[in-house]
Amino acid sequence: MAKELKAKEHLIHSFQKKASDDSYEIKMYSDIIQLYNTYLKFLFNFKARSPLLSSKMSEVSIYLKKASTNDIL
């Protein structure tokens, strides 16, 4: 699932304000959405690189039995 989300991360668009609206709330929403988008992209990349987090639930116990403590942490 993480690999699919990472492949589609370009679809995450931040909030675009109207040209006539310069209120504080719009700037706040825009900043929050931008930070959340950055967080989601980081999470997708992290999960896609981790074999433990990107494996199927049925394969997790097999992976953990073979892995060392350093690999798990």
Q: Give 18-47 pLDDT, tens digit per residue.
A: 666 667 777 788 888 888 888 888 888 887
Q: Does residue 12 belong to any structural domain of this protein?
A: no
Q: Is residue 43 part of a domain?
A: yes
Q: How many CB atoms lie within 10 A of CB 43?
A: 15
Range 65-71 average pLDDT: 75
In this prediction, residue 7 carries a pLDDT of: 75
Question: Is residue 15 in some structural domain?
Answer: no
Number of Cβ atoms within 10 Å of the Cβ of 44: 20
pLDDT above 80 for 9: no
Higher pLDDT pick, 67 / 1: 67
The answer to whether residue 14 is domain-embedded is no
Domain contains 47 = yes
Percentage with pLDDT > 70 across the chain: 71
| Res. 15: pLDDT tops 70 | no
Give the count of beta carbons closer than 10 Å to the beta carbon of residue 9: 14
Looking at residue 10, the DSSP 8-state letter turns out to be G
Q: How far apart are CA 7 and CA 14, in angstroms?
A: 17
- Domain count within the chain: 1
Give me the pLDDT at residue 46, please: 84
